[in-house]
Amino acid sequence: MEHTTYKAKHKAITMLHAPGYVLHDSARRGFTLIELMVSMAIFLIITSVVMVSQSRFGGSILITNLAYDVALGIRQAQVYGTSMKQNSANTFKGYGVYFASTDRFVLFVDLDDNGLYNTNSHDSEGCNPGITECVSVFKIEKGNAITQLCATVGLVNECSINRLEILFHRPDPEPTIAGFVGGTPVFYQAASITVTSPAPQSVSKTVNVLASGQISVQQ
């Protein structure tokens, strides 16, 4: 009896490896529908996580670049204002940066020496021809925006400013900082400009301008 059972098993194994032998469907089946759906769900979750991470990383890079652009714009005004940069009338004037919009800022020259920017010097497209206080307009794109203007004097930090001007006049590298809460200018010692990327990333960077004239980007 045992010998017969052994022969039967041997015959089955031989048939399994014999040429032309075809497995039954139940023996060679692939993924079931449930297994396929689970695999696709895992793939979609991993892909979503990667795309969100990539988007956030890209938004962080763009807003960091924008913060450095703002810092370089202020630095350019500092260099022009404290060096031998002459205006169109071949005279030496102070240069500054004007912030009042969420989507742009302006490099200007203080022609009338009043320490403030002539706001009629530019329009939505850029500098008006024939009015020279506006030197250039820096536009902010891709949904990024200037979201907060702050200024400090002593221990007071004011962040409800709707207009900020940072002016440099030779030979001093220190800035003259004017902030407007409403329509009256108040002079401060230091200032900060915060830029933010669009939702859902909403990454923010802050550019700091100190009383000493130091300009930095807060990471």
pLDDT per residue as tens digits for the range 53-65: 555 555 688 899 9
Domain boundaries, the chain: 50-218
* Cis omega (within 30 of 0) for bond into 173: no
- In a 13 Å sphere around the CA of 86, the CA atoms on its Cβ side amount to 4
The CA distance from 34 to 217, in Å, is 52
Name the more confident of 22 and 210. Answer: 210
Given the candidates 3.10.290, 3.55.40, 3.10.450, 3.90.550, the CATH classification of the domain at 50-218 is: 3.55.40
pTM of the model: 0.72
Contacts (Cβ under 8 Å, ≥6 apart) of 135: 95, 106, 107, 108, 109, 127
